[in-house]
Structure 1
Amino acid sequence: MATLLPFDPFREALSLRKAIDQLFEQSFVRTGWSLAGRQSPSALLDAYETEQGYRVRFLVPGVKPEDLDVSIQQNTLTVKGQLPAFVGSDEQVRWLAQEITPGHFERSIIFPKPIDADQVECTYEHGVLTLWLPIREESRPKHISVRSGSGQPLTVESSLAR
């Protein structure tokens, strides 16, 4: 027996919205995740800007410094490497959790201001790759001395320009 319901135009719209939301959630690919739902290898990073330059830290546990490829082209920093497998491929294991995905990774950051590539510093310690990338001198904020009407010098400091 069919049940009659009063016509509600919003019921159909809500049903359509729910279907679209589900489709979007199922097909949305987050950064660091593959289409198969497994996390792809990736080096986590923090980056910040100061008036003089940029500091970037990458977490690359288990990677040897000589196995990292760090390059700068114009304003783009690229770090490549291979995250090692902690379990041999010949070992038979039953995973309880696997969040560290071994394999090749590549991360790039584009900086808004020109980098002085000749002055970049790069260190590696305890699985952390740290870079200091100074901003080219001509791109840094300048401090300008301003004289008042009485001839007394005043100092005006510029802030970080974006």
Structure 2
Amino acid sequence: MVITHRDSLRDVIALQNRLNALFSERANGKQNDTAEKPASFVPAVDIFENEQKIVLQLEAPGLKQEDFDIQLENDTLTVRGERKLSAEAKEEDFRRIERRYGSFARSFSIPVTVNQESVKASYDAGVLSIELGKRPEAKPKQIKVN
């Protein structure tokens, strides 16, 4: 008698992945399509803060300044854009597509310490930088002891 060891967790995960793929294909109206499609484009973001401002840097190579839509409303900063395939080549002409394309929207909650009138955006070398200046009352103040 041969004893075989089965990893039931691995089997459940494999089944879940197969079911997800099946439902995804059905939802998109595609069946038996084995070509890999890249996932939608979502730019990576770095956020840092100092005493004067909060800075968001979105990595979005291949876009132009006019491709971005930046809105600040009710303490929510929303950045939208779209990276399109080159007009020179059709999707069916590609042998492999690894870069990500499509529309994106990223939203960020902005603290009340931000002065909404002092927001600046710049785009250089594929990085969109958004600077959110802080209100004067939010900046740290040195107090001397007498």
TM over 0.5: yes
User: What aligned pairs does 1:18-57 form with structure 2 within 5 A after superposition?
Assistant: 18-19=10-11, 22=13, 26=17, 38-57=38-57
Alignment of 1:133 with 2:135, yes or no, is: no
TM-score w.r.t. the length of structure 1 is 0.63
Question: What residue is the counterpart of 1:30 in the other structure?
Answer: none
User: What aligned pairs does 1:61-140 form with structure 2 within 5 A after superposition?
Assistant: 61-86=61-86, 88-89=89-90, 92-95=93-96, 98-140=97-139
Take 1:108 and 1:137, find their aligned partners in 2: how far apart are those partners? 25
CA deviation map 1:94-117 (0-9, x unaligned): 11xx33211101112223443211
CA contact (8 A) 2:84 2:102 kept: yes
Structure with more contact order per residue of length (Cα contacts < 8 Å, sep ≥ 6): 2
Question: What residue is the counterpart of 1:142 in the other structure?
Answer: 141
Hey, which bits of structure 1, 4+ residues long, moved more than 6 A? none
Count of residues in Structure 1 that have an aligned counterpart in Structure 2: 129
Take 1:4 and 1:92, find their aligned partners in 2: how far apart are those partners? 51
What SS class does the counterpart of residue 132 from structure 2 fall into?
A: strand
Identity value in percent: 28
Structure 1 residues 100 and 108: alpha-carbon distance in aligned structure 2, compared to 1, 3 A threshold: same
TM-score w.r.t. the length of structure 2 is 0.69
Take 1:41 and 1:102, find their aligned partners in 2: how far apart are those partners? 5
